[in-house]
Chains A and B, each alone.
Chain A
Amino acid sequence: MYSLKSFVIVALICTSLTVSSQNADSQQARLLVSKQVLNKLLVQDSDILVKYTIYNVGSVPATNVVLQDSGFPDEAFATVKGNLNIRFNRIPSGANVTHAVVIKPLTYGRFNFTAAVVQYKSSEGAEEPQFAISSEPGEGYIISYAEYDKKFSPHLLDWFVFAIMTLPAVVGPFMLWWVSKSKYELILKQKREKVSKD
């Protein structure tokens, strides 16, 4: 139920906000941006891997590509490794670049993973920056660490405690039997000794 298959299957949505004439369009860089959360489970205080892929499907290189993701507020997430604001000086036409960030949720509960924003220069002479919005991974439920631990930990300590709790029921009768057995054997031995002496 917490599976993030829906997160992984990403629809590439690209929005180009400024569209000029057809002619100029053909000489422009066009970026498609995907944002994916590559997790099976979202667990509090554990890694969340976010992957950004930028494809340039235009005919010219995109320059000054700035990727900004402000979808992870500081009070709810900590960055484990990687940067959420980065810049690629140049993405050639037909090329793609990937970027990965590992973050850690500090709390649990429902969270909506929103889109990242990419700003770039669509051609050498472009004065106005072009904006693109990445795909949205959507909503996910971050489970608490205690809940995750309950489900997936090996529970070794729990089983050890259980074993100790069952010990009286097993060892108690055994000890009773053992004591009576050794007593009986002692009596038998004494009797035998008596007989042999006689």
Chain B
Amino acid sequence: MTPTHCILVALSLCAVASSAAGCKYAVESYTTSDAMIVNEAAFIAQVSAECEDSPSNLYAEVEGRLLVAANAGPNKYQVSWLDDFKKARRGDYYVKFYDEAGYGQLRKLLRDGESISSVTPVHSAYVRYPGAYKGVWVNSEFLAAIVSMVVLYFAYTFKSKIVS
């Protein structure tokens, strides 16, 4: 009855490529999907690195958007971006993480207008966005009115048949 089921927790899926500098990354993600309550679709990916020499800065690239990860403690990072509910595409978003060197290369290539596929990310992951709940299609009041109309119609036609 309630739309709570629509407030979905999207856990990030699998790690696709793994670390370059021996770091093991784990990504947990969340997206807001209840358009009845929230104004925008927020994508939050929390990254934790497991290694001795974790990068001091982490960057991310998702669908052409460059993001700077916030440091949220030792070996912990957070990448977040927002999108309009109308524009946000349902499905998996491929997020690539870069360290300082990779990000430098990436920016250079983007500035020159070249393909960025040659830069290897330190890690990549999928963030799943299940789509937004925008309320019910048909109001239940409306549906109830339609059903009562149908019942009324049948009753009347039946009655007129008997009377005639």
A binds B: yes
A89 partner, pick from B56, B143, B144, beta carbons under 8 A: B56
Task: Verify if B34 is at the interface (C-beta below 8 Å from A).
Answer: yes
Could you say which of A22-30, A124-132, A156-164 contacts chain B? A156-164
Chain A residues within 8 Å of B40, by CB: 38, 49, 51
Interface majority SS on B: helix, strand, loop or mixed? mixed
Interface status of B135 (Cβ within 8 A of chain A): yes
Q: Are A40 and B140 in contact (CB under 8 A)?
A: no
| Partner pick for B72 among A49, A80, A83, A91, CB 8 A cutoff | A83
Measured CB to CB, the closest approach of chain B to A39, in angstroms, equals: 6
Selected contact of B38 from candidates A49, A91, A159, CB within 8 Å: A49
Q: B58 CB to closest chain A CB, in angstroms?
A: 10
- Bound together, the chains give a CA A49 to CA B83 distance in angstroms of 12
Distance (Å) between the CB of A161 and the closest chain B CB?
11
User: Cβ of A159 and Cβ of B140 under 8 Å apart?
Assistant: yes
Interface string of A1-24 (1 = CB under 8 A from B): 000000010000000000000000
Bound form: Cα–Cα A68–B122 in Å: 28
Q: Is the CB of B70 within 8 A of A86?
A: yes
Q: Bound state CA distance, A85 and B74, in angstroms?
A: 12
Q: Is the CB of A38 within 8 A of B71?
A: no
Check: B124 CB closer than 8 A to any chain A CB: no
Using Cβ atoms and an 8 Å threshold, which residues of chain A touch B56?
Answer: 89
Q: Is A62 in the interface zone, CB < 8 Å from B? A: no
A155: chain B residues at CB < 8 Å are 1, 140-141
A117 CB to nearest chain B CB (Å): 15
Scoring B residues 65 to 83 as 1 if CB is less than 8 Å from chain A, else 0, what string do you get?
A: 0001011110010101110
The smallest C-beta distance from B66 to any residue of chain A, in angstroms, reads: 11
Q: Which of A69-77, A98-106, A107-115 contacts B (4 or more CB under 8 A)?
A: A98-106
B30: chain A residues at CB < 8 Å are: 80-82, 102
**Most B C-beta atoms less than 10 A away, residue of A89, A91, A154:** A154
Q: How far, in whole Å, are A13 and B72 apart by their CA atoms in the complex?
A: 25
Cα separation A157 to B1 with both chains bound (whole Å): 7
Query: Is residue B151 contacting chain A, with contact meaning CB distance below 8 A?
Result: yes
Which of A81, A152, A159 contacts B36 (CB under 8 A)? A152
B62: which A residues are within 8 A, CB to CB? none
Given contacts A86-B71, A157-B1, A170-B151, contact A99 B37 (CB under 8 A): no
Write out the residue numbers on chain B whose beta carbons fall within 8 Å of the beta carbon of A99.
70, 78, 80
On whether the beta carbons of A162 and B144 are closer than 8 Å, the reply is yes
The answer to whether A100 and B80 have CB atoms under 8 Å apart is: yes
Residues on the B chain within 8 Å of A90, using CB:
57
Complex Cα–Cα for A44 and B17 (A): 39
Given the interface pairs A99-B80, A153-B1, A170-B151, the reply to whether A88 lies near B68 with Cβ below 8 Å is: yes
B3 contacts A by Cβ under 8 Å? yes
A156–B78 CB distance below 8 A: no
With A39-B37, A46-B37, A83-B76 known, 8 other A-B pairs at CB within 8 A are A38-B39, A38-B40, A40-B37, A43-B37, A47-B7, A83-B70, A88-B70, A159-B143
Q: Which 9 A-B pairs have CB atoms at the shortest separation, nearest pair first?
A: A81-B30, A86-B70, A100-B80, A83-B72, A38-B39, A87-B71, A154-B136, A81-B44, A100-B42
- Of the A-B pairs whose beta carbons lie under 8 Å apart in the complex, a sample of 12, sorted by A's number, is A47-B32, A47-B34, A86-B71, A86-B78, A87-B70, A88-B71, A98-B80, A100-B82, A153-B2, A156-B1, A158-B140, A170-B155
